[in-house]
Amino acid sequence: MSFVSPAFFLFLLAGRLAYGGWLYLARSAKGHRAISYGLAILSAIFYSFAGLKWLLLLLLVAWISYFGARKARGPAGSFRLWITIALLLLPLLLFKYVFFYIDVHNAGLDSLAAAPSARMQGVDALESSGFFLRLWNGPMLLLPLGISFYTFQNISYVVQVARGTIEPRRSFVDYLAYLTFFPQLVAGPIVTGSAFFPQLDARPIPTMDDLWHGAFLMLRGYLWKVLLADSMADLVDPVFSGGGRQGSAVAMAVLAFSFQIYFDFQGYTLIALGVGRLFGIRLPENFFSPYLARGSRDFWRRWHVTLSAWLREHIYIPLGGSRRGLARTFLALFATMLLGGLWHGAHVNFLIWGGLHGLWLALEHALGGRKNQRTIGREPGSTFAGEGRASRILSWLGRQGIRCITFAFVTLLWIPFRAGSEQNGWQVCVEVWQSLMGYLWHPVAWNGSFSVYLLFGAALSAVCLEYLLRSRPASWLPSRATGPQGGSGLMDLGQSLARAILVAAGVLTLLLLGSGRQEFVYFVF
């Protein structure tokens, strides 16, 4: 079920009302079990829209993780841990990588057999000897919705239990509520058990403030998705599909995709966080103004934070991290980013994207990026002893220059991520270079170029707004009146309801505007 559809809004409204009624009926129940049942059942209904067979697969891997974690301690705990991780990875490898390889293999055989010169090169003899075999003649299986995310979340839980970070859950329903919580099930954020279960144990009953904050987060998410990300997609898709490549249009399409993927994924994350608040659950944030980063390491501390943390905890540190010499650190960085790219999809383009980010991280580490950030990239307000206003201005300009260079590198590295093939990605890179060098610099080919520049201005303004909202998180939300002049509880309730209704009306309007538009980018992962 698409988050950008009226159907999802109706499901959320009906589900929230049913959940509230369920909590009211079970208010005398001891512990948090009623909450776990409510969240698990509602999430199962949500995921069943993707297909009952995928729901059964989700329940199967949940049982493997739940049971395996309970056996991951003790004398044979390490062996059982690796067996559990292998079983959890098996569906992901099968659906996302094995069938992709089979499809590519069979397509290669078909193209080879159709080549006019193939039979002149002895392919007949090889075929008759059985050298070329089709690996699978049946239909290719679709990728289960959210399998990459819930696989990593399963592994995170098992590893945390094995390390003693958290205790294994006694109730399978508690674990289902954690794994299948529907706002984050499809595309994250990846939630750790240590962050979720304490909230569940505290019996999270959503308050009116939760409802208001959640609705406001959802409204921001839909604004970023419908008004910014989808508008950017209208500029990006024609260029990356092979058409509309005229002069500066290519460079601007690459820039537009950098904004598109950020506002698309951040929009989804805000919606997920908002829906979580409607049910009293606070999910972790995934973005911390990544396009204001100063360097590669700073970028990955801000971009897709939960995935970056997962890769660091489960791949980079076990490979040695930065504790075993420079060469081992470079290897760990490069391998981690390669696997991070491969996680996004079984395609050479994702490996190129991950590998280039790994090389950038290694180069920054070799050049002492941390030391540079402490000097050139100091935070506002920090000064050297005796420096004057001119030095502070130069320091500020230096920080902004580093941010611009980082953003430029990140934007260029999005090209292989977005391109459908290596050839297409290389062609886009060449055309961007030629465009920037002035060889093909022509007026923008899109109709109404003023609206395009206006869209980029809106995107930059939204990036700045995200930073301001983060730096002053409490100042942008109305709070209840306090003190002698404060209103009564009934008035507070009425104001909260009025605000929630206004926000809900805004969300519904955006859903109707975005109905039938592009799905979230990370839903395919």
DSSP for residue 472: S
Give the per-residue pLDDT at 114: 57
Poorest-confidence range of 161-165, 374-378, 416-420?
374-378
Query: What is the distance between the alpha carbons of residues 214 and 210, in angstroms, rounded to a whole number?
Result: 6
Furthest-apart CA pair in the chain: how many Å? 94
Please give the residue range of the domain that contains residue 116.
31-205
Residue 109's pLDDT is what?
59
- The DSSP-derived string for 389-420 is HHHHHHHHHHHHHHHHHHHHHHHHHHHHHH-S
Q: Which among 273, 288, 268 has a CA at the least distance from the CA of 216?
A: 273
Three-state DSSP class for 252?
A: helix
Q: Which residues are catalytic?
A: 344
Report the C-alpha gap between 466 and 220 in whole angstroms.
Answer: 10
Q: Alpha-carbon distance 88 to 69, whole Å? A: 12
| Residue at 500 is within a domain | no
Query: 467-471 long-range CB contacts below 8 Å, 24 or more apart?
Result: 467/289, 467/292, 470/288, 470/289
Asked if 106 contacts 136 with a C-beta cutoff of 8 angstroms, the reply is yes
The residue type at 489: G
108 in a structural domain: yes
* Predicted local distance difference test score (pLDDT) of residue 212: 84
Q: Do the beta carbons of residue 503 and residue 218 sit within 8 Å?
A: yes
Tokens of 58: 């989700």
- Range in 36-40, 382-386, 414-418, 450-454 the model is least confident about: 382-386
Is residue 76 in a domain?
A: yes
Residue 182: inside a domain: yes
Q: What is the DSSP letter of 4?
A: S
Residue 62 lies in a domain: yes
Per-residue model confidence (pLDDT) at position 110: 61
Q: Do residues 270 and 221 touch, judged by C-beta distance below 8 A? A: yes
Contact 417, 352 (CB under 8 A): no
- pTM equals 0.82
Which DSSP category does 291 fall into?
A: G
Amino acid residing at 476 = W
- CB atoms under 10 Å from CB of 416, counted, come to 25
In a domain, 497, yes or no: no
Tell me the Cα Rg of the chain.
26
By three-state DSSP, how is residue 141 classified?
coil
Asked if residue 446 lies in contact with residue 452, where contact means CB atoms within 8 angstroms, the answer is yes
State the total domains in the chain. Answer: 1
Give per-residue pLDDT as tens, 233-283.
Answer: 888 888 888 765 666 778 888 899 999 999 999 999 999 999 999 999 999
